[in-house]
Amino acid sequence: MIVAQVFGATAMLWDGESRVEATLAKRLKMGADRRTTILAVGDEVDVERDARGALSIVAISPRRTYLSRAAGHQGEVQIIAANAEQAVIVSSVAEPPFRPGLVDRWALLAVRGGITPYLCVNKVDLLSPEEVEREIAAAAAPLPHVLVSARTGAGVKELHDLLRGSITVLVGHSGVGKSSLLHEIIPEEEIATGEVSAKNLKGRHTTTSSRLYHLPEGGIVIDTPGVRSVSLGPTTAQEVAAIFPEIHGAPPCRFRECTHRMEPGCSVLAGVEAGDIPRQVYGRYRKLLLEAEVV
């Protein structure tokens, strides 16, 4: 069974056909590392029925992938979604303005957890195609991207094709139109089911408000709460470089742990000088490096 929603130690599970409520077994609560999320949406779990007929989660399978973010000040890590194969970073081209830095941060978090990032740019109805291209040029490469409008329906089929048959986590800050897109993709009944169960569990502490939906034609979509900013937590320069193929693919530098900032014999700096690495790409690398409290 797959975790569809988490309310403290209680979860809604999806068994492939319907949703059932289950409670995390006490020994799992005790044994877990308190700084990381014990149970995350997307986790695969084993359950047992107790004498009174209630379901209890007795085992959590090791996560194949994870999407996490730093939460709080004590180094806590919040798992936003488990076992997703791809992350669709939803952004808008205007209203609110496109934020390339945020896209880069989500891409880094996805790659860190073993997830393939994609970019989805919504609200393309607000600008001309040329303006859209200009806005996203700096951030789109190297991410594969889809251009959509929840308002006109443009590109929604393409987005649907991307989600079909895969396990996808949707991320994005509020206002970009993520819920509008979700309503285009997930049938009304499926969205309503979750709302009913949430009502039953009202009043219980919500540790994460990610929610799992299934697509009737196959595939899973995990919707995550819209956050204003994402913290990366401890990050290495190598992780930052990994999301820029031009930098990642540069010849080895003299120092193996080169941060490509000012080190002598740095092949990335040489590449920028020679025009092989676009200055815009290098600029994004430096900006992300600054934000990433590199360790």
Compose the 52-71 pattern: x for residues touching ligand GDP by CB under 6 A, - for all others. Answer: --------------------
Query: Are residues 171 and 83 in contact, defined by beta-carbon separation less than 8 angstroms?
Result: no
Specify the residue, 139 or 250, whose C-beta has the smaller distance to ligand GDP.
139
Residue of 178, 211, 260, 284 that binds ligand GDP (CB under 6 A): 178
Specify the residue, 159 or 167, whose C-beta has the smaller distance to ligand GDP.
159
Residue of 4, 176, 186, 292 that binds ligand GDP (CB under 6 A): 176
CB of 245 to Zn ion, least distance (A): 15
Q: d(Cα 21, Cα 130) in Å, to the nearest integer?
A: 49
Is 203 strand, coil or helix?
Answer: coil
Residues of this chain, 222-261, that bind ligand GDP according to CB under 6 A: 226
Q: Position 222: which residue type? A: I
Placement of tokens 């194949």 in the chain: 64
Which DSSP letter does residue 201 get? T
DSSP string, 28-90: HHHHS-TTB-SS-TT-BEEEEE-TTS-EEEEEEPPPS-EEEEEETTTTEEEEEEES-SEEEEE
Specify the residue, 26 or 157, whose C-beta has the smaller distance to ligand GDP.
157
Query: Are residues 42 and 212 in contact, defined by beta-carbon separation less than 8 angstroms?
Result: yes
Which DSSP letter does residue 294 get? B
Question: Is residue 184 within the footprint of ligand GDP (CB under 6 A)?
Answer: no
CB of 53 to ligand GDP, least distance (A): 38
* Partner whose binding site includes residue 233, from ligand GDP, Zn ion, none (CB under 5 to 8 Å by kind): none
CB of 248 to Zn ion, least distance (A): 11
Q: d(Cα 14, Cα 216) in Å, to the nearest integer?
A: 14
* Partner whose binding site includes residue 122, from ligand GDP, Zn ion, none (CB under 5 to 8 Å by kind): ligand GDP
Residues of this chain, 136-175, that bind ligand GDP according to CB under 6 A: 149-151, 172, 174-175
Distances (CA, A) of 289 to 17, 124, 241, 260: 44, 30, 9, 10
Residue of 21, 44, 85, 125 that binds ligand GDP (CB under 6 A): 125
CB of 260 to Zn ion, least distance (A): 4
Specify the residue, 58 or 154, whose C-beta has the smaller distance to ligand GDP.
154
Q: What is the separation of C-alpha 77 from the centre of its chain, rounded to a whole number of angstroms?
A: 14
Q: d(Cα 225, Cα 171) in Å, to the nearest integer?
A: 8
Specify the residue, 213 or 282, whose C-beta has the smaller distance to ligand GDP.
213
Question: Is residue 123 within the footprint of ligand GDP (CB under 6 A)?
Answer: yes
Residue of 258, 272, 277, 288 that binds Zn ion (CB under 5 A): 258
Question: Is residue 180 within the footprint of ligand GDP (CB under 6 A)?
Answer: yes
Cβ neighbours of 255 (radius 10 Å): 12
Binding interface with ligand GDP (CB under 6 A):
122-123, 125-126, 149-151, 172, 174-180, 226
